[in-house]
Structure 1
Amino acid sequence: MGCDGGTIPRRDELVRVKKKPETKDKDAELAFKWRCCSITQETLQQPIVVCHLGKLYNKVSLIEALLDRGALSESFKHVKSLKDVRELKLTENPEAGKNDSSAAYICPVLGLEMTGKFRFVALWSCGCAFSERALKEIGTKTCHKCSAPFVEDDVIVINGTEEDMPLMKERMEKRKQANKKKTKTVIKVEESDVSSSCASSSKVEEAGRKRKANDVSHSKIANVISVGKVTKQEELKKMKADYSVAKDKQATDVYKSLFTSHKSEKEQNRAHWVTYNPFYN
């Protein structure tokens, strides 16, 4: 049984064989994760942020997705606000743009390209990113880029595997609990500051009232006891009803002329320049 032209058919041409499942190109998948935003699949552009689980996002795209509550899928529900992400401080690759295979960012310590072939980590405390090999080889508790101190729970594996997810989730919970404790302590400190400021302001007001009362009493005493060079007895004489400025020996003639009882007032036929006397009107 042959075809036209005397050809002999093969078995796979006559029998339907089950097709093998298509295999993913791992290199293309890695390049996609490290070059594109996890939400919009657009090319990563500064500023770039990373979440607790190590996924990369464009900050602008993430803000738009947070504003539109239905835009985030179930895999991104752990990101509820900008507090759940950290802006990355990346080191630009000087060779970027010369060819398509070069990465945009590199490790600042070893110079490894950030393409997915090498594991990279980020520090939640400062946001610096570098290769995991640099973290293990140097083995210090200070950032290799900015020299800021960090703890083990601050280390985030960028675009980690499924095996890294349980550890990343555990560290995420620890960081959130630590953040809650910090906010509680800050609130307590602010409340104590407010109460102390209120108490101090009340004390200041009370002291001001006492000071005003003392000033008034002192002024009254000063007015009664002495006015200029006048003694207490002389001041008491002036308070009597039979006191007359015209008969006061210590008062000057200029001072006496201010009053209508002065002899000069009896001679004039117009109102006094200081006092108002209706007799002359």
Structure 2
Amino acid sequence: MGCDGGTIPKRHELVKGPKKVEKVDKNAELAAKWKYCALSQEKLRRPIVACELGRLYNKDAVIEYLLDKSAERPNSEVAVHIRGMKDMKELNLTDNPEWEGERRNAKGDRYEDMHCAMFICPVVGLEMNGKHRFCYLQTCGCVFSDRALKEVKTEICHKCGDPFQEEDIVVLNGTKEDVEKLRGKMEEKRAKAKAKKSKKSKAAETVSKPSDSKDDTSSLQVHVPGSSSTQNGSASSQSAVAGPSGSSSSSKEAKSSTSTATKRSIQHMDEKSEAFKSLFTTHSSAKRTKEQTSNWVTHTPYHF
């Protein structure tokens, strides 16, 4: 069809050129980063947490991900670096007084400003809508604009007063370069933590080994009952003079004395009374004949 009735086709109608690259709307891209959770793609709502790479999440979405990592979720590769809630920081955000909430345009008869954000910088008053650079502190979780941190240079948080360093500043939803720098810092931190743990484990092993050796040496020492300190001293001197033969004889005597002490029964002790001896099972009153012993009965009435 076409080219009839005197119509003159144009070149773009006959020749198909390369397809134009689809451009992403900047406003929609910023809204997706600053108003929606990076993991669940739901609207951000308190409590809001941030990872070490500066991405924003809903706290309940992160907890669900950590409880069941096997479940198939969209954008799960965004949270691969999250090992637990220790890697996250709950943000201390400042509400925007001009933000009216989600019900302001329920009827659809009003203009909805996409740049109006829920939160602002408590120092400068800039809205956290993606047009301005924002950061958070890993020590306390307070959020400020980059302009406020540059203009008012202090080592104390402007909101809560906790001290911080430049290493504790994390950029929220930064560029690719910012994300690569933050990833390098994160890997260095984790490597240092692993090194500290390995050092602590080695130190614990070295402390436990000498204590075990001391226990072994103390267990090897034999204390002979009834021997005085002078007798021990004389025996030690004799064993030192006699050499290995003397030491072997003394060890045999110690073993025989300990064996006799352990083998001696309470019933053969003359100094003990009969009432005391009757408390033990070795006494003659505790022994029963076969007629006195009862037959073996189970808890069930079955007999085999």
C-alpha contact (below 8 Å) 1:153/1:175 kept by paired residues: no
Q: Give the Cα–Cα distance (whole angstroms) in 2 for the partners of residues 105 and 128 of structure 1.
A: 12
From 119, 135, 138, the equivalent of 2:152 is 138
2:135 equivalent to 1:110? no
Matched, 1:22 2:22: yes
The equivalent residue for 1:243 is none
Distance 1:186 1:35, change over 3 A: farther
Computing the radius of gyration over CA atoms, which structure comes out larger, 1 or 2? 1
Structure-2 change in CA distance of 1:18 and 1:30 (3 Å): same
| 1:102-140 deviations in Å (ceiling 9; x for gaps) | 100000000000000001000000000010111111111
Call closer, same or farther: CA 1:16–1:184 in 2, change over 3 Å: closer
Distance in structure 2 (CA, Å) of the matches to 1:141 and 1:37: 31
Query: How far off its partner does 1:76 sit?
Result: 1.7
| Structure 1 residue 179, shift from structure 2 partner | 5.9
Residue 32 (str. 1) matches residue 32 (str. 2): yes
Q: CA contact under 8 A between 1:52 and 1:168: conserved in structure 2?
A: yes
Matched, 1:77 2:111: no
**Distance in 1 separating the partners of 2:124 and 2:146:** 10
CA RMSD of aligned residues (A): 2.7
Cα distance in structure 1, aligned partners of 2:28 and 2:195: 43
Residues 95, 138 of structure 1: CA spacing in aligned structure 2 closer, same or farther, 3 A cutoff? same
Instruction: Letter of the 1:117 partner, please give it.
Output: K
Which residue of structure 1 aligns with residue 93 of structure 2? 90
Give per-residue Cα distances to partners, 1:238-271, cap 9 Å, x unaligned. xxxxxxxxxxxxxxxxxxxxxxxxxxxxxxxxxx
C-alpha separation in 2, matches of 1:46 and 1:58? 7
In the alignment of these two chains, the number of paired residues is 189
Instruction: Check the 8 A contact 1:153/1:174 in 2, yes or no.
Output: no
Q: Which runs of 5+ in 1 are unaligned?
A: 189-281
User: Secondary structure of the residue that 1:136 maps to in structure 2?
Assistant: helix
Rounded to whole Å, the distance in 2 between the matches of 1:31 and 1:151 is: 30
Q: Contact conserved, 1:103 with 1:114, CA < 8 A, in 2? A: yes
Equivalent position amino acid for 2:50 in 1: V
Shift of residue 3 of structure 1?
Answer: 2.5
2:50·2:57 contact (CA, 8 Å) conserved in 1? yes
Displacement after TM superposition at 1:186 (Å): 11
Q: Mind listing any 5+ residue stretches in structure 2 that lack a counterpart?
A: 105-111, 204-304
Q: What per-residue deviation string (whole Å, max 9, x for no partner) do you get for residues 158-216 of structure 1?
A: 0011010222123323544676689899999xxxxxxxxxxxxxxxxxxxxxxxxxxxx
* Residues 1:173 and 1:19: Cα distance change in structure 2 (over 3 Å): closer
**Following the alignment from structure 2 to structure 1, what is the Cα–Cα distance between the partners of residues 117 and 199?**
43
1:69-218 matches, cutoff 5 A: 69-71=69-71, 73-97=76-100, 99-101=112-114, 102-176=116-190
Shift of 1:148: 0.8
Identity of aligned residues (%): 53
Aligned to 1:236: none
CA distance in 2, matches of 1:10, 1:57: 51
